[in-house]
Chains A and B, each alone.
Chain A
Amino acid sequence: MSTDKRYKDLSLLNNLFESLGDNENMSADDIKKELRDDGIDLDATLQRLMAAATQAAADSKRSVLDLARKERLQQEAKPKRTFDNLINWSKEQLLAQIKSLSLEDNQIAAASYRDLEKLTEDNLRALLEDLELLRQHEITDPKNGK
């Protein structure tokens, strides 16, 4: 088969598959009807996809903290810690400090720990350090600007 012929055939298949998937000008109702006609249990499938999206959002928020935690552990491995000033803070002070943070930081903390009150002082200190590192990371990384 000549190069040109094969290229044309692949182009035909590629655009045909893309074209069969194209639904840009279709109404949501028409799309639903066609999917149901193809035997898809649409309500159940969409429910699973919405749940997967919710889970991905929660995992994503959690991953932000995981990244910050990695950085904290690297900081801790260094001879001098950045957050020595938190060592003498009481649990109440640590909790108050977390609650005084921005709404976004609080959402991230809440996404990771259902009940902050149940965390130990050490865990609260670590969480606060993670959030602080995260904030520093966002300030220094221009890609994270909103």
Chain B
Amino acid sequence: MIPTNKKYDSATREKLLQVAPEDLKEALLRSLDYAHKKTLFISLLDCRIDSEELVQEAVARAYGVGTGKFDKLTYRNWDQSKYPLLEDFLKSIIKSLIDHILKENTGIVFLPTDSDDTFQSEKLEELIQHSKPSETAEAVLLKAEEAKELIKLLKKLSNDDEEIGMLLLAAEDGYSKAVEQAEATGYEIKKIYNIRKRLKRKLDPLLDKLNRKLCR
């Protein structure tokens, strides 16, 4: 039985059907890359997520026929004033999915990266108090410990490599896009991508040692 939802806006389906196959393929490529790289490092928090599955679910939700297997939601309407490009729309769905899975499995609640200060202070209490009711105190502590260890490692990398330090400072200040980080650090965009690659290489050995459980 295909799920149906009256709240799904059929205009979203019509817009999707108008996307040319080569544009769809590029949007899928960029969404897959986003999901893959983001989830790769989230696995450091003892939570492995299948990136291909995320993209498939995002596309299905965009068409109003998601499985709802992660959070019971089956559709997402496309607000093109907010997400002019299909890849941005799909990435926003993937981001919500990852945030939900992470919250359910690690108790970590991430705030929207583009949220304003008012929203952040309002959500702060929720962020501090959140923990999964079914989880034991030990499990919560272990995850908090893993996050702390990762933070410690990042601080060490910051001390060893000034440019990585600058990038991490920009991230701490709320900048996640290359353009924003370039502006915040005074580096060229190309350099930002090179620093990210260097950081990734330094974190890679950690990933190789891990055999994380699959989070759903």
| Residues of A bordering B, CB below 8 Å | 3, 6-26, 28, 31-32, 34-35, 38, 40, 42, 45-46, 48-50, 52-53, 56-57, 59-64, 66-67, 70, 138, 143-146
Is A7's CB under 8 angstroms from B41's CB? no
Q: Nearest Cβ distance between residue B58 and chain A, in whole angstroms? A: 10
Report B8-51 CB contacts with A as 1/0, cut-off 8 Å: 01110110110001001110111011111110111000000000
- CB interface residues, B 144-170, toward A, < 8 Å: 147-148, 150-151, 154, 167-168, 170
Is B150's CB under 8 angstroms from A14's CB? no
Find A18's partner among B25, B56, B113, B124 (CB 8 Å cutoff).
B113
Would you call B4 an interface residue if the criterion is a C-beta within 8 Å of the partner chain's C-beta atoms?
yes
- Given A13-B151, A31-B30, A60-B13, CB of A18 within 8 Å of CB of B176: yes
Q: What's the count of A-B pairs with C-beta under 8 Å? A: 179
- Residues in B whose Cβ lies below 8 Å from that of A21: 33-38, 91
- Given A49-B52, A53-B59, CB of A12 within 8 Å of CB of B29: no
Q: Nearest Cβ distance between residue B148 and chain A, in whole angstroms? A: 8
- Residues in A whose Cβ lies below 8 Å from that of B179: 24-25
CB nearest neighbor in A for B167: A19
| Residues of B bordering A, CB below 8 Å | 1-4, 6, 9-11, 13-14, 16-17, 21, 24-26, 28-30, 32-38, 40-42, 52, 55-56, 59-60, 62-65, 91, 95, 108-111, 113, 120, 124, 127-128, 147-148, 150-151, 154, 167-168, 170-172, 174-179, 181, 189, 193, 196, 199-200
Is B168's CB under 8 angstroms from A16's CB? yes
Is B28's CB under 8 angstroms from A10's CB? no
Is B65's CB under 8 angstroms from A59's CB? yes
3 tightest CB-CB pairs across the interface, nearest first? A21-B38, A18-B176, A60-B63
Is A144's CB under 8 angstroms from B10's CB? yes
Bound form: Cα–Cα A88–B29 in Å: 53
- Given A59-B65, A67-B4, A67-B6, CB of A45 within 8 Å of CB of B32: yes
Q: Nearest Cβ distance between residue B100 and chain A, in whole angstroms? A: 14
- Residues in B whose Cβ lies below 8 Å from that of A34: 33, 37
Bound form: Cα–Cα A134–B205 in Å: 56
Is B55's CB under 8 angstroms from A49's CB? yes
- Residues in A whose Cβ lies below 8 Å from that of B40: 20, 38
Q: Can you add 8 more A-B contacts, CB < 8 Å, to A21-B37, A53-B28?
A: A10-B110, A15-B176, A20-B196, A20-B199, A21-B34, A23-B30, A46-B32, A144-B9
CB nearest neighbor in B for A23: B33
CB nearest neighbor in A for B114: A18
> 6 A-B Cβ contacts within 8 A?
A11-B111, A18-B95, A19-B171, A45-B32, A57-B13, A143-B11
Is A12's CB under 8 angstroms from B171's CB? yes
Bound form: Cα–Cα A61–B8 in Å: 12
Find A138's partner among B10, B65, B177, B199 (CB 8 Å cutoff).
B10
